[in-house]
Amino acid sequence: MHFLRERALQFYEQATFTLERGYCEMLFNIEQALQLYMKYLLYRKIGDYPKSHFLRDIADRLVEIYETIAALKITSKGGDRSWRCWNRPTSPLGICPLKPGGRTAKRRIRC
- Quick: pLDDT tens for 30-89: 999 999 999 999 999 999 888 888 888 998 898 888 887 766 665 555 544 433 433 444
- Quick: pLDDT tens for 15-31: 988 888 877 888 889 99
Residue 61 forms part of a structural domain = yes
Residue 48 forms part of a structural domain = yes
What's the domain count of the chain?
1
DSSP conformation class of 79: S
Residue 109 forms part of a structural domain = no
Give the integer Cα–Cα distance in Å for 17 and 20.
Answer: 6
Residue 90 forms part of a structural domain = no
Tell me the pTM. Answer: 0.56
70 within 8 A of 87, measured Cβ to Cβ? yes
